[in-house]
Amino acid sequence: MNKELMEALDVLEKEKEISKDTLFDAIENSLILACKSHFGKSDNIKVEIDRETCDFLCYAEKVVVDEVEDDCLEISKEEAKKIDKKAELGDTVKVEVRSKEFGRIATQNAKNVILQKIREEERNVIYNQYYAKEKDAVTGVVQRYIGKNISINLGKADALLNENEQVKSEVFRPTERIKVYILEVRDTPKGPRILVSRTHPELVKRLFESEVTEIKDGTVEIMSIAREAGSRTKIAVWSNNPNVDAVGACVGMNGARVNAIVEELRGEKIDIINWDENPGNLIQNALSPAKIVAVFADPDEKTAKVVVPDYQLSLAIGKEGQNARLAARLTGYKIDIKSETQAKDTPGFRYEDYMDDEYDDEEYEEGEYEEYDENAEYEESSESAEYDEPEGDAPEEQEE
């Protein structure tokens, strides 16, 4: 039994996760290549390896002839008799090839074949491992800055955090551990190329899945996410169990769960709201913490008109329009926000006084809308403030 070879294969299988069958195939191919380098031909060369003991036999199949014209393919009857006493003219005998007799070049070629196969399989294993984690969040260690990009070590492979996938306010130090979202894994001749992100909204979703047990087991679902990386995120959650509070589960006792995610995101604010099938209720929740007087939503046109108390207009719109902009992304509705005074004075804006937060569901049919243009500018004037649901990053609000 070839113990040394068996031990070497065991180590490779354990450390590199390369199967023994693949390594045995590489050894067979290397021996055949060595024979070709040594003899000039390998068409009649056969290699047999015992997968249990690692004992191998390399032999050449030669035809018995009277006069030998090609030593590689033929053998004389006298020589054949020494191997097999029953050998006759025209028979094929197996002549053992001793690998110890190979020259230095043949041996080096065989070694290169095995090493090349090991490297290829190692790349494939790493690629398959991280390809399975694509669209998921993983922990990485910051290595170094490459220009404005950052090299992140994920364990068995390095990933690249491009400048446009970085949060502008974040600065990392070497050896720092961070969570990243795997955008794409490409297979290249030099190994897998992994692209990661810190700005993707799905990063927040994956962090909640890992932190909140109820989301992981499906009791609570994240229905929608709107994020402005580094500043603020709004998520809408829904509970499939009436006895489980979706928002409470995500917040955790004393805010422990959400605070852990906020800390990972370097202080990014996170608003968690209840998802509602009723668009009016959903928009009202999305605009929190602002108090809403009335909502007029049109589900067909995906537009809504919102009335807020005069003193709540700035809060509903948010700093530079952020609150209304995120609400529009979260709900998928184009939102027109007006104060009570503006709504009463605006022609064509049907409005009645609503006490507290009560409003008539029949009024949801009101409202005229158009599809959102991502190049449109947000405006906040003394008359009204209107916000669309952006497909990409929405432009900042401009004041007239």
Write out the two tokens for 180. Answer: 């990243």
What's the pLDDT tens digit per position in 30-76?
888 887 777 777 777 888 888 787 777 888 888 888 777 777 787 88
Cα separation, 182 vs 186, in Å, equals 11
What's the pLDDT tens digit per position in 129-161?
999 999 999 999 999 999 999 999 999 899 999
DSSP-assigned letters across all residues of 229-283 = TTTEEEEEEEESSTTS-HHHHHH-GGGHHHHHHHHHTTS-EEEEEE--SSHHHHH
**CATH no. of 276-400:** 3.30.300.20
Given this model, what pLDDT does residue 387 score?
A: 53
**CATH no. of 3-130:** 3.30.1480.10
Domains 134-197 and 276-400 share a fold: no
Write out the two tokens for 358. Answer: 């009560």
Q: Which CATH number fits domain 200-226+240-274: 3.40.50.11290, 1.20.1250.20, 3.90.320.10, 3.30.300.20?
A: 3.30.300.20
Confidence bin at 324 (pLDDT 50/70/90): very high
Q: Which CATH class is domain 134-197?
A: mainly beta
Q: Taking residues 250-264, what's their average pLDDT?
A: 93
What's the pLDDT tens digit per position in 207-240?
999 999 999 999 999 999 999 999 999 999 999 9
Cα separation, 198 vs 110, in Å, equals 45
Given this model, what pLDDT does residue 260 score?
A: 94
Q: Domain locations in the chain?
A: 3-130, 134-197, 200-226+240-274, 276-400
Q: Taking residues 340-368, what's their average pLDDT?
A: 52
Residue 292 has pLDDT above 80, yes or no: yes
Cα separation, 233 vs 7, in Å, equals 53
